[in-house]
Amino acid sequence: MGQKIVITGANRGIGLAMVQAWCAKGDTVLATCREPSAALLESGAKVIDGVDVGSADGVMNLQNALGDRRVDMLYNNAGIMSSETVDGMNFDSIRDQFEVNTLGPLRVTMALLGNLHAGSKVGLMTSRMGSIADNTSGARYGYRASKAALNAVGKSLAVDLSERGIAVAILHPGWVQTDMTRQSGNLTAEEAASDLIARMDALTLENSGTFWHSDGSVLPW
């Protein structure tokens, strides 16, 4: 029997590829987005639109749509990226990235705690750019800081949810050919999705809270 999976940010890119892969495996996928693409509507997933993880109302829309349905896996994929530099600082865009990239996954996870159960898994789509030790190029202040904060959120969730039997993965997808990277990556969305799903399949309470590359290597904080 397949899993019941909720994924945010499922409209395109890696999120859409993960939806398609899970549906092909026979899982029941509830795919959330603000507005659905034609590809998402054709994926076989149940689409829940009107879900903006950067707002309390948007997350409430998801909560209301789910009701008391049991959720085996929650994958927090939704995210945004802007580019700030010392000479081009924008505090509003930094704030927006924190709302979506950091608070969004926490909001969604808190809202769905009643749907998760012992044995459930939570995935957080972070980035290697959230690694402080790995930062050698600077810039992108909002994205780096919001993903570093998400890593901290993920580690705390792993600790706090362990007593409920819920495991948490903190995952970097790799450099992926998506609109966010202007198609400049070395992985296709489908390749990244396959790797990320493998990481979620391998997630246990024993390795919960680890910061992984999608290829399975452990990344530095």
Flag whether 116 is in a domain: yes
Any bridge partners for residue 76, and if so which? 124
Euclidean distance between CA atoms 148 and 20, whole angstroms:
29
Flag whether 218 is in a domain: no
User: Tell me, what's the pLDDT at 219?
Assistant: 98
Integer angstrom CA distances of residue 217 from 64, 173, 206, 209, 213? 37, 11, 16, 14, 5
Domain count across the chain: 1
User: Tell me, what's the pLDDT at 151?
Assistant: 98
User: Tell me, what's the pLDDT at 185?
Assistant: 72
Flag whether 90 is in a domain: yes
Euclidean distance between CA atoms 77 and 92, whole angstroms:
22
Flag whether 69 is in a domain: yes
Euclidean distance between CA atoms 119 and 40, whole angstroms:
28
Flag whether 220 is in a domain: no
Euclidean distance between CA atoms 49 and 151, whole angstroms:
27
How buried is 90 (Cβ within 10 angstroms: 0-12 exposed, 13-18 middle, 19+ buried)?
middle
Please report, in tens digits, the pLDDT of each residue of the chain (221 residues total): 699 999 999 999 999 999 999 999 999 999 999 999 999 999 999 999 999 999 999 999 999 999 999 999 999 999 999 999 999 999 999 999 999 999 999 999 999 999 999 999 999 999 999 999 999 999 999 999 999 999 999 999 999 999 999 999 999 999 887 666 667 677 899 999 999 999 999 999 999 999 999 999 999 99
Which CATH number do you get for residue 46?
3.40.50.720
**Residues 37 and 49: beta-carbon distance below 8 Å:** no
Flag whether 125 is in a domain: yes
Euclidean distance between CA atoms 129 and 31, whole angstroms:
26
Euclidean distance between CA atoms 140 and 1, whole angstroms:
43
DSSP 176: B
Euclidean distance between CA atoms 89 and 140, whole angstroms:
9
User: Tell me, what's the pLDDT at 180?
Assistant: 65
Flag whether 203 is in a domain: yes
Structural domain containing residue 15: 4-213
Please state the φ and ψ torsions of residue 161, each to the nearest 5 degrees: -90, -5
The model carries a pTM of 0.96
Flag whether 219 is in a domain: no
User: Tell me, what's the pLDDT at 177?
Assistant: 78
